[in-house]
Amino acid sequence: MAGGRAGVAHLRGPRLLSANAALSPADVKAALASEARALGFDSIGVTAPGVLADAGRHFRDFLEAGAHGDMNWLAAHPERRTDPRALWGDVRSIIMLGVNYGPDEDPLVILNERTRGAISVYAQGDDYHDLIKKRLKVLARWLVATSSCEVKVFVDTAAVMEKPLAQAAGVGWQGKHTNLVSRQFGSWLFLGAIFTTLELPQDEAEPDHCGSCRACLDICPTAAFPAPYKLDARRCISYLTIENKGPIRHEFRKAIGNRIYGCDDCLAVCPWNKFAQAGHEAKLAARDELRAPSLADLARLDNAAFRARFTKSPVKRIGRDRFLRNVLIAIGNSNDRALATEAERLANDSSPLVRGAAVWALSQLLEREEFLARAAKAIGAEVDEAVREEWQFATTLPEPQPEERR
């Protein structure tokens, strides 16, 4: 794999650099694309900073509807998202890059294994933020050394609208599920951006190729798409299991199934995935222990064990308590009476968030009389009001049908 120094050395060759000639913008762009491929980027395109007018209007409508939920960081400084020049006034070109992380198996198959947890494909390997940012910095240093420009790099952690910028740069298009789709890589691209003061030739925007297809909209378990190209994050399982810090709303708990971190349904069902290929980056590849982990094993994680298991994984950022909240929802949906033992133990956990989720799991797995007897004792002893409310609410739920339990 080539690094920044190798790329600069290549450009010192007689065909590109000489004492008397400078690279043209087109030459810089061609050399940049070559260097990006050598660094492991699978897609690259260039656009201008002033291309987000329509995307900006959609984003403001999204915020005004409150569809971002508790993601207050999205609502902070919206002008920086809708116009990159508000983020950095000197930017003249935006280089969008993609890394393929296509799975080597169907992400939907795990949903039938109800005693195992489904973790989103992107989170089964190392955290892509770290990997891609390092590569972006190498490529950016190469660009500075080559062209004496200024640069800034971004990977999903700043006020940058990566997906509409990637569409404007020809990397893919935003599908009806609002995620980026590539004709070459389907739904599976991590994105990064380099802002630069260089004036580089722009690529043509990628047109929409969704046609009349509704597969991504129709598969959503929680009806998170009020219309094509519109997402209500408050209903999205990825939001509910990752961004949401409190209890998961009752109306969504059954629909979550065994998804314990994120959801790939709308991505995995896209017909354009027939052209996709498995990712080639070893650090992004799924770890065996995260492909289909046992819910019983996950329920036994204390804080130290949680951090150890999810070292370098995006999962670690939500913390043990929120993760066990998700695991307990999946346990409640498992229909496996044997897992009630794990829920009973976690009903005494030090975290109110965990205890509350354990209550719901027990309400789904225990026989009704057994659950009501346990609730009668627990309500009086519980010190947290929210958890007491979980017990009280669970006593009003209809009893699960016998065929729903194993």
What would the mean pLDDT of 317-333 be, rounded to a whole number?
98
Whether residue 209 contacts residue 181, with contact meaning beta carbons closer than 8 Å, is answered with: yes
* The predicted structure's pLDDT at residue 5: 35
Report how far residue 143's alpha carbon sits from residue 295's, in angstroms, rounded to the nearest whole number.
47
Q: Is pLDDT above 90 for 406? A: no
Q: Kindly report, residue by residue over 144-201, the tens digit of the pLDDT.
A: 999 989 999 999 878 899 999 999 999 999 999 999 999 999 999 999 999 999 999 9
CA-CA distance, 101 to 126, in Å (whole number)? 11
pLDDT at 401: 62
What is the structure's pLDDT at 18? Answer: 41
Q: Residue 405 above 80 pLDDT? A: no
280, 100 contact by CB (below 8 A): yes
Question: Residue 330 pLDDT more than 50?
Answer: yes
Question: Over the chain, what is the mean pLDDT?
Answer: 91
The pair of three-digit structure tokens given for residue 94, joined into one six-digit string: 């935006």
Domain ranges of the chain: 4-103+126-196, 294-406
Per cent of the chain over pLDDT 90 is: 84
DSSP 90-151: T--EEEEEEEE---SS-TTGGGG-TTB-EE-GGGSSS-HHHHHHHHHHHHHHHHHHHH---E
3-state secondary structure of 196: strand
Per-residue pLDDT, averaged over 122-139, amounts to 94
Distance, CA of 360 to CA of 358 (rounded, Å)? 5
Check if 156 is active-site: yes
For residue 62, report the phi and psi dihedrals to the nearest 5 degrees: -60, -45
The answer to whether residue 202 scores a pLDDT higher than 70 is yes
pLDDT recorded at residue 282: 65
The span from the CA of 216 to the CA of 102, in Å, is 17
State the average pLDDT over residues 374-382.
Answer: 95
Cα–Cα distance, 55 to 94 (Å, whole number): 16
pTM exceeding 0.75: yes
What is the residue-wise DSSP string for 37-56?
HHTT--EEEEE-TT--HHHH
CA–CA gap between residue 160 and residue 190 (Å, rounded): 14
E runs forming strands in 165-313: 173-174, 180-181, 189-196, 259-261
On the question of pLDDT at 400 being above 80, the answer is no
Indicate if the pLDDT at residue 12 is higher than 50: no
Q: Which of 15-19, 162-166, 198-202, 323-327 has the lowest mean pLDDT?
A: 15-19
Active-site residue, from 156, 203, 297, 336: 156
Residue range 300-308: mean pLDDT, rounded: 97
Which H or E element spans position 154? strand 151-154
HSE on the CB side for 194, CA within 13 Å? Answer: 32
Q: Under 8 Å CB-to-CB from 141, ≥6 apart: which residues?
A: 4
Q: Is residue 377 scored above 60 in pLDDT? A: yes
CA distances from 24 to 48, 137, 148 (A): 18, 23, 13
- % of the chain surpassing 70 pLDDT: 93
Residue type, 232: D
What is residue 13's predicted lDDT score, i.e. its pLDDT?
36
Sign, Cα dihedral of 42, 211, 121, 130: positive
At residue 331 the predicted structure's pLDDT band, cuts being 50, 70 and 90, is very high
Per-residue pLDDT at 280: 77
Average pLDDT estimate for 339-364: 98
pLDDT tens readout for residues 204-257: 999 999 999 999 999 999 999 999 999 999 999 999 999 999 999 999 999 999
Model confidence pLDDT, tens digit, residues 269-283? 999 998 887 777 767
CA atoms within 13 A on the CB side of 243: 16
**282-303 pLDDT, tens per residue?**
677 778 899 999 999 999 999 9
pLDDT digits (tens, 9 = 90+) for 61-109: 999 999 999 999 898 889 999 999 999 999 999 999 999 999 989 999 9
The CA distances from residue 200 to 19, 99, 147, in Å, are 22, 21, 11
